[in-house]
Structure formats: C-alpha cells, structure tokens
C-alpha cells in the first residue's frame, strides 16, 4: 500500500526546514565553489555551495518561513480589498514587522544574478511553473512592507521596491511567455507604488537611486526576456511534439493531451488532427516551426505590431498548418503589453533620475 504524504501545509514548520536542509546538503565535495555572486557577503574561509548563488533555492527557503504571511489566511475579503488600496490591517502589519529577518533574506535573494527553478521543459505543455504564483505573492508582500515603512524608514521602503523589480526580472527568466507577463505585472506593482512616493516628494536622491539601479535588470535589449521566451517556446513545442507523438495514433494522442491540459481547441481542427499519424504530425510541426520563425522576425521588426498582425492573419488563414491554429500563441497583445511596460519604466527612470540629480 502506498505511503501517504502529508501536504506541506500540514507539516510542522520545523519538519519543513529539516526536509529542505536535507535537499540542500548532499555530498560536500561535489558542491563547494569558488565562483561567487558579489551580492553574497560571507566571512573569509566559510565554504559556500553552488546552490547558495541560485536565487530559486533561496526563494524556496524564504517561502517556507513566510508561508503564513504569503497565504493571507487570517485576512478577510474586506481587508484584502483595503490592502489593494494601500490600507494594511493592523494584524498583517504586525506579521510583517515580526518577519523582517525572512524579508531581508527575500530581498537578498532578489540580488542574486542566477535564478533557475529547474523547470521540466521536456514535458512540453505539461511543464509546471508553480513558482510564478508565489513570486507574485512575494511581490505584494514586499510592496505592502514598503507601505508599512513609508514615513518611518524610507531607506527600507526603497529597498523593498527595488527588490520587487528584481523579483519581477527573475520571474521573467522562466523562458515562457507567461513568465514574462508575470514579470511585467510584478514590476508594475513597484512602479505604481514608486510613483506615489515621487508624487508625494517622499524619496531622497539616494533612495531614488536605489530604485533606479534596480531598473537596470529589466530595461535591457530584451526587457523581461520576451524574445527569449518566444524562442524557447518554439524549441520546446517543436522538439517535444516530434519526440512524444509518433505512430498511427499520434494525432489522436496529441489532441487528447491538449484537451486534458485545457488547451483552447477547435472542433474542426481536433477532428483533422485525430486522423493523423506520426509522420503527418511531424510535417505539421515543421510548418508550425516556420510560423514561430516568422513571429520571431516580426517581433524584432521596425513596426512589430503590424508585422505580428500579419503573421497572425496568415496563421488564421492556415499558412502554417492546422497544428499552429491549435498551439501557437497570439502575441499581438503580449507585444503591446511589454512595449507599454518598457515605456512606463523608461518614464519612471527619468523621474527617478531627476530626483537623483536634485
């Protein structure tokens, strides 16, 4: 009889920490490293492992410590609505104040360059990204703590908003379109809160500089790793479908999996796919790959909106095959959202720089 495993919410917190310690320990001789992230300060001679410089592992540790605060289990719906308006319940404020050491560790994790959650991309559309929801909750926690500290410790408030921006960049490193969108949403939380502080003239030059410096992480040649996300999805889908669906029932098995995963299919497309064998599915994958190539080229065009619209029109007309109709993402809105975010953050940078310059 299989042994029952308790959900994490039912395990004592001490047990959770012991379990994590076991996961992170392993054979010492295989993990020590001389390659260190400069954001990690340690006394000379203290050995550190590779995992110490992977933000994903540091986040997992902090999430265990902050679990009650992240779940809002004791907060009423009215209080949640008030929190969205910036009004923090007294009990919640006390929770934040009592978890400052863990929050400091959360901020430290955002400063690490590397962030790899070990996503199982080989599972195709079955690849899971549960960290994104917790990262968004963590962003709300940081912004709420900045609100709690407003007027009391503005240096700490600025550090939390800067950490939120870096956290958003880490979320976008999932190399999937949804990860980039979550990153955009997280950073926007920090942007809106920073604007409120700027409008109230509550940021000093140094505090504005802390937030401005964090924007370096997202205002890059590929903000929020958007192009990387599209390229990764192309490779993921093409390789996964070719390797996974073969033989006479390939099309039927593909449709069945798509339906179970909640894909937004079309009856006529599913009917046609159901009748295809592995070779025919592979031929459609080749056409879908060409569609992705066209999207990637359009994404980088001088007028990306018009070029992407053209690709999506050809996709609907069937130029890239029926499989593309089923699986390829509509990227017009994605491009619009990321461009708007980049423009808004560029404007924010100008305002912050003006405060820095006095």
Output the CA–CA distances (angstroms, integers) from residue 243 to 124, 293, 338, in the order listed. 10, 20, 32
Q: Judge contact between 83 and 89, C-beta under 8 A.
A: yes
Shared domain check, 269 and 306: yes
Predicted pLDDT at 44? 76
Shared domain check, 60 and 181: yes
Can you give the pTM of this predicted structure?
Answer: 0.85
Identify whether 76 is part of a domain: yes
Identify whether 235 is part of a domain: yes
Shared domain check, 186 and 71: yes
Shared domain check, 252 and 135: no
Q: Pick the residue with more confidence: 5 or 292?
A: 292
| pLDDT tens column, 256-267 | 887 776 665 566
Shared domain check, 91 and 204: yes
Distance (Å, rounded) from C-alpha 135 to C-alpha 66?
12
| pLDDT tens column, 46-72 | 888 788 899 999 999 999 999 989 988
Predicted pLDDT at 87? 86
Shared domain check, 311 and 172: no
Domain ranges, residue 343: 53-218+337-356
């Amino acid at each position: 009889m299989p042994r029952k495993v308790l959900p994490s919410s039912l395990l004592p917190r001490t047990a959770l920490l012991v379990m994590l310690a076991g996961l992170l320990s392993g054979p010492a001789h295989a993990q020590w490293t001389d390659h260190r992230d400069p954001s990690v300060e340690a006394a000379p001679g203290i050995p550190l492992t590779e995992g110490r410089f992977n933000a994903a592992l540091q986040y997992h540790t902090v999430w265990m410590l902050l679990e009650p605060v992240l779940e809002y289990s004791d907060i009423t719906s009215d209080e949640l609505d008030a929190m969205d308006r910036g009004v923090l319940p007294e009990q919640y404020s006390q929770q934040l104040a009592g978890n400052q050491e863990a929050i400091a560790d959360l901020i430290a994790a955002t400063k690490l360059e590397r962030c790899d959650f070990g996503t199982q991309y080989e599972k195709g559309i079955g690849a899971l990204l549960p960290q994104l929801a917790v990262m968004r909750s963590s962003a709300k926690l940081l912004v709420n703590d900045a609100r709690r500290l407003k007027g009391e410790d503005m240096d700490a408030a600025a550090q939390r908003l800067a950490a939120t921006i870096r956290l958003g960049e880490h979320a976008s490193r999932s190399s999937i379109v949804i990860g980039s969108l979550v990153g955009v949403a997280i950073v926007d939380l920090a942007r809106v809160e920073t604007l409120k502080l700027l409008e109230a003239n509550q940021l000093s030059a140094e505090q504005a500089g802390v937030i401005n410096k964090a924007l370096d992480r997202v205002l890059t040649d590929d903000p929020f790793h958007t192009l990387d996300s599209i390229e990764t999805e192309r490779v993921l889908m093409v390789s996964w479908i070719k390797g996974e669906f073969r033989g006479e029932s390939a099309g039927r098995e593909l449709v069945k999996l798509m339906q179970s995963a909640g894909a937004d299919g079309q009856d006529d497309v599913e009917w046609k796919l159901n009748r295809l064998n592995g070779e025919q599915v592979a031929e459609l994958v080749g056409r879908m790959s060409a569609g992705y190539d066209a999207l990637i080229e359009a994404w980088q065009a001088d007028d990306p909106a018009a070029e992407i619209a053209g690709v999506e029109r050809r996709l609907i007309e069937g130029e890239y095959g029926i499989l593309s109709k089923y699986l390829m993402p509509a990227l017009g809105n994605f491009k619009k959202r990321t461009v708007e975010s980049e423009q808004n953050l560029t404007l924010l940078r100008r305002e912050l720089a003006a405060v820095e310059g006095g």
